[in-house]
Structure 1
Amino acid sequence: MNHDEHNTLPPQARKGRGALSIRTGRFESATKEAFDDGWGSLDERPARVPTTLSVDTAKTVIAYNQSPDVPFDRSINPYRGCEHGCAYCFAPPGHAYLGLSPGLDFETRLFYKPDAPERLREELGARRYRAAPIALGINTDAYQPVERRLGLTRRILEVLQETRHPVSIVTKSALIERDLDILAEMAANGLAQVAVSITTLKAELARRLEPRAAAPHRRLQTVERLAAAGIPVSVLVAPLIPILNDEELEKILSESRQAGAVDAGYVLLRLPLELRDLFGEWLRTHGPLKAERVLHRIFEARGGKAYDSAFGTRMTGTGEYAGLLGQRFRLAYKRLAFPGSPGFNQDLFRPPLPGGQTDLFR
């Protein structure tokens, strides 16, 4: 070890944050490292990192995809970056395109689209537009903490409600209950479905793994309240992480079914690009005795790599371990008698007209 390596500070956990470092993005020519300057740096508690908000100037709000691995071809992400701080999130590498760190920058330097509802209205009003379910908040949670103040997701839902446009939502936030009035009315017409992401039922693990997301018991309560309001709700056990939470699969499914979930799915942990090192850093800090075993099994399920982007298997992995997870899920799903999510009603769509009206005759 040379002198510089000896004086480089180790990753340090910050209260309320998941990432441990401001790891440099893959497009940057220089790297950044915390360094002991000899003036007591190692003795100081790491400083809290505040959240900053900047405007995202994207000209369009609907993003389209052709992936066979997801049940939608269009989505809206009101925010870039996410305060939940989930150590396993697949989205942080996107911050590298902004010249920012996929580490702490992703959960502290957020971007939002204040004119997203207006841009959405324009896109839904285009002559060639044809309605199909829009997935809301896929890359980053549309109900992350800042939404409580900005209300951007609610304004988007109001446009979709007005135009009778189908929408699906994936969230791990209890804040979605704020919009039960809109979602219940849309669901009554076959226009809204929600999936609640539950990673673990262990409070201590959740506190370290996803520090600013809703507690596990609170998410189950959200499933119950959504179901009681007549909104088709499913549970997404994601991600399953070998040795850390994979043993909980059946219990999460069971408790979610009891709470009223009608459907379920799961995703095996994915570690694309910078996330491989970011998650490894988190794992060696919070679970050093398990770290190498966890990473070995992840690589085993990804053909010897941290991530395999091949369609058809990127969400579930391959090999013996991945096969056993799939079998366990299928058996539990059948035993718990999940009825499955209903279809969407795509025939009620009414394109908006300028001035906030809708076209009843088009």
Structure 2
Amino acid sequence: MVSATQIPRCRSSRITINNVNELRNPGIFELVVDLVVNNAKVVTSEGIYDAGIAVEDGKITAIAKEPNLPKSDKVIDAKGLPVMPGAIDPHVHLGLYNPFGEDVPDSTMVQAIGGLTTTMHSILDKRSLKVSVPELTEIANKNAYIDMTFYAAIMSMQHILELPAAFELGVTSFKHFTNRPEYEMLNILHPDDGEFYLSFAKIKELGGVAMVHCEDFEIARKLTERVKASGAKDLAAWNDSRPDYCEQLKIWEMAVMAKITGCPLYVVHNTVATAKEVVDWADGNGVEMYIETTPAYLFFVKTDQKIGVLGKVNPPIRTRGHVEGLWQGIPAQKQCSPS
């Protein structure tokens, strides 16, 4: 278990696949490694191969056909199943409805079963970061089944002033909410635009990343009144109460803020395919920008009534056009990365 506030580096060697029928390293037959996994479909960034892997001291040292793998006292037959690097979930909320100490073992156990090896929890705490980060770190180190790290929400000028201390504690990514004051019911405070600027500028200076929940709640509040008056109560009505342009407006605004301050920008749980326009602009203007989405936005549309109230999320589930556009953006990575 790594320190809960440090993002673990990948422990696997970078291996380029030329021909899995050939040896990765000359003389490998003479080696005896800690582990061999054979009869697998090995998933790499370059493709999927019918091969096996050799592991020594926690690192993948070879990918090859079974006859070309080194010897090992421990051999696992994958029986044709995929073998792939552990996944990282960069956006998790624990402790919202249950105590954090209860959520950590339950959630990380399920994540491990699902193939995740690292999870990033969002600290939503208006107290000093000097208090919340060490407190949650201790709980995570005692209870997490997988590696765990944190990012923290910026809720006040105090948090901005504490950014250097947060970095010393290992937290390097910081979330900002533009849908103020909507989440005050969750005890989440919302900095104003001037504090956003100061936060972005300081995060840039320290070498971190600014994360943003992008929604214009002032527009959404007025549209919500209109939808309520219409009597509509289905899932599509939730989308109509805070439509795609509420999100797109704030994505553009935060991209410009990132341009002004030079701070890397990570837009969380994006639902709109039109975010690609902003990413293209950012790429052309020297802005380091990334877009995240989630399974709900990749698999459901606003007319999917079968999911009922579970589909009432912020930002809302959108149209088929947005779903298809998000899928098209995934191969570009910067344009759409799932969490």
Aligning the two structures, in what range does the TM-score lie when normalised by the shorter sequence? 0.3 to 0.5
Length-normalised TM-score, structure 2: 0.36
Higher relative contact order by CA 8 Å / sep ≥ 6: 1 or 2?
Answer: 1
User: Greater share of strand residues, 1 or 2?
Assistant: 2
TM-score, normalising length: structure 1: 0.34
Per residue, is there more helix in 1 or in 2?
Answer: 2
Larger Rg: 2
